[in-house]
Chains A and B, each alone.
Chain A
Amino acid sequence: MKNNIKVQRAIHDLTQADLAEKIGVSRQTINAMEKNKYVPSTLLALKIARLFKKPVEEIFILEDED
């Protein structure tokens, strides 16, 4: 699974730390997700989508190997 959190973050002019604070997770989690090293839980994915006011599928995208 890939995601465009980094792009969304740029659009909303948020740093990793800002985003982490807004959704109540650690900086490490944002960093790992942006590097595709961590697949978030459904709960966290929904929270991120809600913050960026987008459907989840527009931020998190399945890849062929998934």
Chain B
Amino acid sequence: MMKYLLSNKFKKPGWVLLVVGITFGIIHALNDFESDLLTVKVISLFHNDIIFSKNNGLVSIIEDSIVDEILTLMIITGGLLVGFSKEKIEDEFISKIRLSSLKWAILINYGILLFATLFFYHTNFMSIMIYNMFTPLIIFIVRFNYIVYKKTGHEE
């Protein structure tokens, strides 16, 4: 009955990726996203640099530090694995919590984004956009796990 969910065994590796990704992501953000580590040649589509225009084009090869790319991939992949792997017992009530948590995440996320659109400008808004890549998944995961934990209940 449940579709679009992975087996429960993907949950643990998901948590590892997510936690490591977020930890190093925060460190990276504290360093203003500056890093020369892992500078490699990458493919850039529709490259359009105003100052260094020699590489501009439809498909270009440029050099870039891929620390932020790796961290983004880790957080998103980890988040998807955690959020979309089955619980040990995935039944109708758990699916209901999953769906209502997704609804929550979308609503809160866009609420924050509306607020940010009105009251944050320039680089502040850019930072909000960076966090916004991850907040839907993170709000979803936090809310889902909190409700599942809360509903585990105690024998009376």
Contact = CB atoms under 8 A, between A and B. Distances in A.
Interface of A: 6, 15-17, 20, 24-29, 31-33, 35, 37-38, 40-41, 44
Interface stretch (B22-30, B65-73, B131-139, B147-155): B147-155
Contact of A41 (B88, B92, B153): B92
A29 B94 contact: yes
Interface residues of A: mostly helix, strand, loop or mixed? helix
A27 B152 contact: yes
B152 A29 contact: no
A6 B89 CA distance: 21
B63 interface: no
A1 B12 CA distance: 38
Interface of B: 87-94, 96-97, 148, 151-153, 155-156
A20 B87 CA distance: 14
A20 to B, nearest CB: 8
A44 B93 CA distance: 10
Contact of A31 (B88, B89, B91, B153): B153
A23 to B, nearest CB: 9
A16 B91 contact: no
